[in-house]
A and B are shown apart, each in its own frame.
Chain A
Amino acid sequence: MRKKMVFLLTLLLLISVSEARVYNVNFAGITQAYPYFNAYDYNNDTNAPPVPPSESSPPSGAREFSDTNYRNIWYPEGTTANPGYETHYFLFKLSQDAAVDRVEVHWRGAANDGNDLVHFFAYNNDTRSWTQLANITGGTLQWINYTFTDPDPYISPGGYMHLAFVGDPEGLFDSNGAPYTDYIELIVTVNDAYVQTACVQVISDNVRDWDGIFDSDTVSVQARATTTGNEPIPWYTNLSLKAVWSYLGSGSAYFGSGMSNSTGEAVISGRPIDGGVTDRWRVSLKVAARDAIVDGVPYTGNSACSEVSFADNVAITPSSYNVTLIGRYWDNGGADWVRIWWVAEPSDVLPVNIGGYNLPVAQKFRNWDFLLYKIGAVNVIGPNNDNDNDWEGISSNVNEVNSEMYPACIGPDDNTTQPYNCGQWAGNCRDSRSVGVGLLGQLPAGCCVTESGGTMSAGNCARYETGYRISTLVEFNVPDHNLGEPGKAVYKICSEYGNLTRYLNMVPYPGHEGDQEAPCTSHLLSVYLTVSPTSTEGFFRWTYSLLGMDIVKNHPHGGLGLLSFIGLWPDNQHVVGLVVGHRFGIHPFTALVTSMPPGTYPADEQASYWNLSFMQVWLYYLLKNLAYGIFVTAEEWANMHLRYPPSGEDNITALNRAINLVIGDFLPYLDETLWMLEASGNNTIKPFIVSTVTQLNDTKRIATLIRSNETLRAEFVSLTGTLFGKLPELVGPPDASTGLNYLLKWRTEGLTYTEKRDTNALIYDLLDRLLSFAVAIMKHLPLMEYVNTPASPGWNFNWIENSTQP
Chain B
Amino acid sequence: MPLSLDLSTVYIIDGFQGNFILMAELFRAIAINSTISDYVANDIYYIFGFLKWLSYFLNDISTIVNNEIMLGNATWKGWLVGYWQRVALNSTWLFGDWRGAWGVAYLWNRGLTCIQPGQFCYSINYGNLTTQEALEMVKWMFNATSEVGRKLSIWYPWS
Contact = CB atoms under 8 A, between A and B. Distances in A.
Interface of A: 382-384, 690, 693-697, 699-704, 706-707, 713, 716-717, 720-721, 724-725, 727-728, 731-736, 740-741, 744-745, 747-748, 753, 756-757, 760-761, 764-765, 767-768, 771-772, 774-775, 778-779, 781-782, 784-785, 795-799
B124 interface: no
B132 to A, nearest CB: 13
Given A384-B3, A733-B49, A798-B1, A703 B18 contact: yes
A782 B57 CA distance: 40
B7 interface: yes
Contact of A760 (B32, B52, B65): B65
A668 to B, nearest CB: 15
B135 interface: no
B61 A717 contact: no
B109 to A, nearest CB: 9
B3 A717 contact: no
Given A720-B29, A756-B60, A757-B64, A797 B82 contact: no
A741 B49 contact: yes
B120 interface: no
B112 interface: no
Nearest to A786: B5
B11 interface: yes
> Which of the listed residues B18, B54, B83, B102 has the most CB atoms from chain A within 10 Å of its own CB?
B18
A415 to B, nearest CB: 38
Given A697-B11, A767-B79, A702 B18 contact: yes
A382 B3 CA distance: 9
B39 A707 contact: no
A757 B68 contact: yes
Given A702-B18, A724-B30, A772 B86 contact: yes
Contacts of A713: 25
A761 to B, nearest CB: 7
A383 B64 contact: no
Nearest to B68: A757
B21 interface: yes
B50 interface: yes
Contacts of A774: 94
B36 to A, nearest CB: 5
B101 interface: yes
Contacts of B8: 690, 693, 784, 795
B48 A734 contact: yes
> Which of the listed residues A724, A778, A796 has the most CB atoms from chain B within 10 Å of its own CB?
A724
Nearest to B15: A696
A697 B14 contact: yes
Given A699-B14, A703-B18, A753-B64, A782 B2 contact: no
B106 interface: yes
13 contacts: A697-B10, A697-B15, A699-B18, A724-B36, A725-B35, A734-B52, A757-B68, A760-B64, A768-B83, A775-B86, A778-B90, A778-B93, A781-B107
Interface string B76-98: 10011011001100100110000
Interface residues on B, range: 35 or more
B143 interface: no
Interface in B52-80: 52-54, 56-57, 60-61, 64-65, 68, 75-76, 79-80
B123 interface: no
B36 A717 contact: yes
Given A702-B18, A703-B19, A720 B57 contact: no
Given A727-B46, A782-B101, A796-B5, 7 more contacts: A716-B29, A720-B25, A725-B35, A734-B46, A761-B75, A764-B79, A775-B90
Contacts of A797: 2
B15 A699 contact: yes
A772 B86 CA distance: 8
B52 to A, nearest CB: 6
Contact of B53 (A704, A744, A784, A785): A744
Contacts of B56: 744-745, 748
A581 to B, nearest CB: 21
Nearest to B14: A700
A278 to B, nearest CB: 33
Contacts of B83: 767-768, 771
A736 B15 contact: no
List 5 A-B pairs, minimum CB-CB distance, nearest first. Answer: A734-B49, A696-B15, A699-B18, A700-B18, A703-B21
Contacts of B18: 696, 699-704
B46 A728 contact: yes
Interface class of chain A by DSSP: helix
Given A696-B11, A748-B57, A760-B65, A795 B5 contact: yes
Contact of B60 (A748, A784, A798): A748
B45 A734 contact: yes
Nearest to B90: A775
Contacts of A716: 25-26, 29
A724 B45 CA distance: 12
B72 to A, nearest CB: 14
Contacts of A799: 2
A202 to B, nearest CB: 38
A756 B87 contact: no
Contacts of A734: 45-46, 48-50, 52-53
Nearest to B148: A724
A745 B10 CA distance: 46
A725 B2 contact: no
Contacts of A741: 49-50, 52-53
Given A693-B11, A717-B29, A745-B56, A703 B2 contact: no
B69 to A, nearest CB: 12
Nearest to A741: B53
B39 A745 contact: no
Given A699-B15, A720-B36, A721-B35, A747 B49 contact: no
B146 interface: no
B39 A727 contact: yes
Given A725-B36, A740-B50, A782-B101, A796 B17 contact: no
A764 B77 CA distance: 11
B34 to A, nearest CB: 11
Contacts of A772: 86
A104 to B, nearest CB: 58
Nearest to B136: A707
Contacts of A384: 1-3, 7
Contact of B3 (A700, A725, A761, A796): A796
Interface string B18-46: 11011011100110110110011011011
A775 B79 contact: no
A775 B92 CA distance: 10
B154 interface: no
Contacts of B10: 697
A744 B86 CA distance: 31
A728 B42 contact: yes
A765 B79 CA distance: 7
A768 B53 contact: no
A721 B36 contact: yes
A772 B147 CA distance: 43
Given A727-B46, A795-B4, A704 B94 contact: no
Contact of B57 (A382, A697, A747, A798): A747
A143 to B, nearest CB: 61
Nearest to A763: B61
B103 interface: yes
A11 B14 CA distance: 71
B87 A771 contact: yes
Contacts of B107: 781
Contacts of A694: 11
